[in-house]
Amino acid sequence: MLQQYNPKNENIIIHVGGKLYPRTEAKISVFDSVVQGGDAIWEGLRVYHGGIFCLDRHLDRLYESAKALLFTDVPNRAQIKKAIFDTLKANNMGDGVHIRLTLTRGEKITSGMDPRLNQKGSCLIVLPEWKPLVYDNENGIKLITSAIRRNAPEFLDSKIHHNNLLNNILAKIQANQAHADAALMLDKNGFISETNDANIFMVKNHHLITPFADACLHGITRGLMLELAAEMKIISYEKNISLTEIYNADEVFCTGTMGELTPVKEIDGRVIETKSESKLIKKLSEAFVEKIKLLSEKIPS
């Protein structure tokens, strides 16, 4: 499903580096690190019923990424939350909204790669948009396996949620060329890692199975699935999953903030028949909706 331009986003207000700007004026410097080297980190968050889902978990991951990349002058948690809340209030947004939260290493004194050229501190961007879920969760999606392998920690650690997205974008291009909805990415050993933009789960004999988070992002939604499974007494574990195993799964689904739980109906032309009588996707989706209420941080009035 190709995302469409939403005219409701024409006049949104965006936070850039401590100030609020209308969409047409929200800009960063050509000297900013994200332009110079994709040297930035990000989080995608969703706003439901007047609250931000799993806000602290997203900020925990952002701070871990910032520490790994040795960012300096990082705004503290209260400052980031205030920036998010102020931006949402300026837009009168409280539901059906996706926030792209970006923290760049900031502006450089001259073009170049060296972080020592960054002498102005980091730059926070809060971009909230009216946005429905991005995948067709009713009918499911088709995947193809990409020839592009997901970065392993020895190359670029997927525990850093960074803006160097070309690894994923190359895989997505391959999926687009093949008229698939997304690309399934393998790790360097040929085991399944994740799709280009979501984590992946399979169900076999009522067990919920997902790849180790070695070469995939340790997704917030992924983590929540494992917590839900424990609460619901569903046996769940991480393991190396081969293509043959996933082709023969009883159910397959992807998880992510942008799409919640998305059933996968086909991988490389192999139909996933949803053979599981337990219909874990449906049960977990319902449990996920319940968690939204419990785990959202209210936008202060």
Cβ 1 to ligand PLP shortest distance, Å: 17
| Per CB under 6 A, 168 contacts ligand PLP | yes
Name every residue whose Cβ is closer than 8 Å to that of residue 3 and which is 6 or more positions away in sequence: 131, 134
**Does residue 151 interact with ligand PLP by CB under 6 A?**
no
Sheet containing strand 51-53, edge to edge, reads 19-22, 13-16, 123-130, 97-104, 40-48, 51-53, 296-298
Stretch that binds ligand PLP, among 24-32, 77-85, 249-257, 291-299 (CB under 6 A): 249-257
Residue 188 DSSP SS3: coil
Q: Alpha-carbon distance 260 to 108, whole Å?
A: 37
Instruction: Tell me if 186 contacts ligand PLP by CB under 6 A.
Output: no
CB of 298 to ligand PLP, least distance (A): 20
Instruction: Work out whether 41 is an interface residue with ligand PLP (CB under 6 A).
Output: no
Amino acid in the structure at residue 210? T
User: Cα(301)–Cα(88) distance, rounded to whole angstroms?
Assistant: 11
Q: Do residues 35 and 105 touch, judged by C-beta distance below 8 A?
A: no
With binding defined as CB under 6 A, does residue 259 bind ligand PLP? no
> Could you say whether residue 118 binds ligand PLP (CB under 6 A)?
no
Q: Does 102 bind ligand PLP (CB under 6 A)?
A: no
Q: How far is the CB of 104 from ligand PLP (least distance, A)?
A: 17
Site map 192..231 versus ligand PLP, x via CB under 6 A: --x--xxx-----------------x-xxxx---------
CB-based contact 49:19 (threshold 8 Å): no
CB of 269: closest distance to ligand PLP in angstroms? Answer: 24
Number of neighbouring beta carbons within 10 Å of residue 231: 9
Distance CA 18, CA 8 (A): 24
Do residues 124 and 102 touch, judged by C-beta distance below 8 A?
A: yes
CA atoms within 13 A on the CB side of 181: 22
Residue 13 interacts with ligand PLP (CB under 6 A): yes or no: no
Judged by beta carbon, residue 71 or residue 288, the one nearer ligand PLP is 288
Task: Pick the closer one to ligand PLP by CB: 13 or 180.
Answer: 180
Binding residues vs ligand PLP (CB under 6 A): 44, 168, 194, 197-199, 217, 219-222, 255-257
